Amino acid sequence: AQSVSQHNHHVILSEAASLELGCNYSYGGTVNLFWYVQYPGQHLQLLLKYFSGDPLVKGIKGFEAEFIKSKFSFNLRKPSVQWSDTAEYFCAVNENRDDKIIFGKGTRLHILP
Amino acid sequence: DVKVTQSSRYLVKRTGEKVFLECVQDMDHENMFWYRQDPGLGLRLIYFSYDVKMKEKGDIPEGYSVSREKKERFSLILESASTNQTSMYLCASSLLTTEQYFGPGTRLTVT
């Protein structure tokens, strides 16, 4: 069965620190990859997505993610975090031509001002 | 902008009650989904629908049913609510195999 692993359940950083959240998936075929974010009290929203092409994907609010096919990974990065990045982040994957998305368990990111 | 709305933000029900959660999307999306979100467990798919009157079980369908009579509306039904169904329920919609758009969620408490 498909699975998505997020390595860190809870991350605490100070403002201006660099961020990398790990994500690995188990499917060996063609995949679409997503990172979603849920700010406190808000609905889940798309941060960035990879369908094909350049494996380095840029999203909103300065986030980027790199798809490394050989490692089955899609790690999320941001060079300098802000207090407003405090949120829960979910990595997700679906097989090409599958309507369903499999979500990871999420990483709670807490940024200290 | 895609808009997915859910009928209630907060709901409190008693054990054994029948509970209806409604979701409406305004972008003519084929697919609609119901998830529950619990701390440390992420999002788990309950049911999804790929067309009117069509549905497919997700990972945790037990104790739930769904209804999709119109393309824009997808209802989740708890036939007989139990305390272990206390959770945040999220509805989402998508166009075929693209990204999903989420509603604000309904926090259901069953006492």
pLDDT of residue B2: 66
Strand ranges in chain A using DSSP code E only, listed in sequence order: 4-6, 10-14, 19-21, 23-25, 31-38, 45-50, 56-58, 64-68, 73-78, 87-95, 102-103, 107-112
pLDDT of residue A98: 77
Condensed to tens digits (0 to 9), the pLDDT of residues B12-60 reads 999 999 999 999 999 999 999 999 999 889 999 999 999 998 999 999 9
pLDDT of residue B101: 94
Mean pLDDT, all residues of chain B? 94
Given a contact cutoff of 8 angstroms between Cβ atoms, the answer to whether B66 and B77 are in contact is: yes
Condensed to tens digits (0 to 9), the pLDDT of residues B47-103 reads 999 999 899 999 999 999 999 999 999 999 999 999 999 999 999 999 876 889 999
Q: Which residues of B touch A (CB under 8 A)?
A: 31, 33, 35, 40-43, 45, 48, 50, 58, 90, 92, 94, 96-97, 99-105
CB hemisphere CA count around A71 (13 angstroms) = 11
Task: Considering only residues A27 and B8, tell me which one the structure prediction assigns the higher pLDDT.
Answer: B8
Contact A100 B105 (CB under 8 A): no
Contact B58 A100 (CB under 8 A): yes
Nearest CB to A106 within list B42, B96, B103: B42
Residues of chain A with pLDDT below 70 are 1
At a CB cut-off of 8 Å and minimum separation 6, what does A98 contact? Answer: B97
With a pLDDT cut of 70, the percent of chain A lying above it is: 99
Contact A100 B40 (CB under 8 A): no
pLDDT of residue A29: 83
Angle at B81 between CA B76 and CA B86, to 5 degrees: 85
pLDDT of residue B40: 86
- In chain B, the N- to C-terminal Cα span, in Å, equals 37
